[in-house]
Amino acid sequence: MLNKPSREALRGIRRQRVRRKISGTAERPRLNVFRSLQNIYAQIVDDEKGNTLIAVSTLAPELKGKLPNGSNASAAAAVGKLLAEKAQEAGIKQVVFDRAGYVYHGRIKALAEAARAGGLEF
């Protein structure tokens, strides 16, 4: 009987397949998303320089006390909205969306739609 790879290993395979095709530049940085069981994290990265330009999560001081739960779609939407605001302040208008192997559904979709509504283009 064959051993099945774990869910994390399968996500890693999907993540590497996507990352071979996309990369963030100074003109159009990469918006990366990480989803844990209790929180959601998003960052805007310039892959040419290897710098994280903006990072926001449900643990950010602006959101920590306001969210009753950090692991639902409304919390992800709040993170997306805050990320878009910070990106506008930094002069970032266009990004490349990196879903990091996650299905574009639920919290990932809520974060992306809130970021688009906040003014980011991708």
Q: Does domain 7-117 have CATH number 3.30.420.100?
A: yes
Give the model's confidence band at 65: pLDDT under 50 very low, under 70 low, under 90 confident, else very high: confident
| Alpha carbon distance 55, 83 (integer Å) | 7
Residues 10-49: tens digit of each pLDDT = 999 999 999 999 998 889 999 999 999 999 999 999 999 9
Contact partners, residue 96, CB within 8 Å, separation at least 6: 22, 23, 24, 28, 29, 30, 31, 122
- Percent of the chain exceeding pLDDT 70 equals 99
